[in-house]
Amino acid sequence: MNVSVNGCKVTLFPPMTTVRHALLTAGLFEELESGVKVYDEWGNEIGTEGALNEGAKIFVRSADS
């Protein structure tokens, strides 16, 4: 399954298709410790345990931007 993290394609394999797995694969999970948040393509904040679907677009950015 392919998703986009900050505009970069990431391939996930079931059953590891959560936001957490996408961030780990993209090398961005550690950034959550510095206060950044994860958002979907519509600007909604999403949790790391949320499921992703094929073609999902997620973004990591600071909470105040």
DSSP-assigned states of every residue in 8-64: EEEE--TT--BHHHHHHHHT-GGGGGGTEEEEETTS-B--TT-B--TT-EEEEEETT
Can you give the pTM of this predicted structure? 0.90
Query: Domain residues for 37?
Result: 2-62
How far does CA 15 lie from the centroid of its chain? 16
Does position 62 have pLDDT exceeding 90, yes or no? no
Q: How many domains does the chain have?
A: 1
pLDDT digits (tens, 9 = 90+) for 16-57: 999 999 999 999 999 988 889 999 999 999 999 999 999 999
- Model pLDDT, residue 64: 72
CATH of the domain at 51: 3.10.20.30
